[in-house]
Amino acid sequence: MADPLADLAPLLEIDGIETCYGLSQVLFGMTLQVRSGEMVAMMGRNGMGKTTTIRSILGLTPARAGTIRFAGVEVRKFPSYRIAQLGIGLVPEGRQIFPNLTVRENLVAAAGNRLGSADPWTLERIHALFPRLAERGNNMGNQLSGGEQQMLAIGRALMTNPDCLIMDEPSEGLAPIIIQGLWEAIGKLKEEGLSILLVEQSAHLALKLVDYVHVMSKGQVVYSGKPDALKANDEIKSSYLGI
């Protein structure tokens, strides 16, 4: 079957980036792309450079070489706020919600429609996606369960009305029943055509939804392909994913 996304130009494209923490180099020619409406996964064992790739894209840990383009704009040397304004939203590892703000305040604080979406994310749309956040609207961030905090982190990122959503380990530390509901919500975002770059430790979860997957090892991509191809590749799964 032909890939309906194959002819689309990349929305997010990183090519040959190298990133260091001081004298310690973490990324060695990292390359991937996300097309409009596509959901792409970065997978690999801990410490292989997945989060550093995200930090490089967002300018939080600037890459020292290579190119990072978003919507056709070279952003490698942009400050983080400029990159966010172009339309990238982040659901960070560890959620990082504002503990001293209410659920509603966490969402409203991030609200913006800089790109002029005709159907922007609002409190009402977030509550429809995550009804639990409507019930907990007046609770402080530090009063929420882990699952509720993850819903809030996703809702806060969506309130920026991004063209591309980056999610770093959204299922980490959550109970299976909570993960199931979370994955259903992420599936709805995919159905709406939101471009998503997903970092997920669980191959079982990631391969359910993504259109394309990159496996990382030691700061570079060692395998790229469709989910079904990875499922059938026992050597890659054993060597780089531990499954």
Let me know: does 221 contact 30? Beta carbons within 8 Å: yes
Which of 114, 140, 162 represents a domain boundary (last residue)?
162
Whether 188 is in a domain gets the answer no
Let me know: does 172 contact 152? Beta carbons within 8 Å: no
This prediction's pTM: 0.91
Which domain, by its residues, includes 102? 97-162
Note whether 78 and 171 are same-domain residues. Answer: yes
Note whether 104 and 60 are same-domain residues. Answer: no
Note whether 168 and 58 are same-domain residues. Answer: yes
Note whether 132 and 81 are same-domain residues. Answer: no
Note whether 35 and 136 are same-domain residues. Answer: no
The pLDDT tens digits for 112-141 are 888 778 889 999 999 999 999 999 999 999
Whether 2 is in a domain gets the answer no
Which of 141, 162, 183 represents a domain boundary (last residue)?
162
Whether 185 is in a domain gets the answer no
Question: Closest Cα to residue 172, out of 224, 95, 104, 71?
Answer: 95
**CATH number of the structural domain spanning residue 231:** 3.40.50.300
Note whether 141 and 209 are same-domain residues. Answer: no
Note whether 77 and 107 are same-domain residues. Answer: no
The pLDDT tens digits for 134-166 are 999 999 999 999 999 999 999 999 999 999 999
Which of 107, 140, 162 represents a domain boundary (last residue)?
162
Note whether 105 and 152 are same-domain residues. Answer: yes
Residue 148: C-alpha distances to residues 128, 137, 228 (Å): 14, 11, 32
Determine the pLDDT at residue 3. 57
Determine the pLDDT at residue 42. 95
Whether 183 is in a domain gets the answer no
Note whether 220 and 170 are same-domain residues. Answer: yes
Determine the pLDDT at residue 116. 78
Determine the pLDDT at residue 243. 74
Whether 151 is in a domain gets the answer yes
Question: Closest Cα to residue 87, out of 243, 197, 206, 182?
Answer: 197
As a whole number of angstroms, the distance between CA 57 and CA 73 comes to 12
Whether 92 is in a domain gets the answer no
Query: What are 210's two structure tokens?
Result: 């993504």
Whether 77 is in a domain gets the answer yes
Let me know: does 29 contact 218? Beta carbons within 8 Å: no
Note whether 77 and 28 are same-domain residues. Answer: yes
Whether 105 is in a domain gets the answer yes
Note whether 134 and 241 are same-domain residues. Answer: no
Please count the CA atoms within 13 angstroms of the CA of 170 that sit on its side-chain side.
31
pLDDT beneath 50, residues of the chain: none
User: Which residue is associated with the tokens 């469709």?
Assistant: 226
Note whether 169 and 202 are same-domain residues. Answer: yes
- What is the count of structural domains for the chain? 2
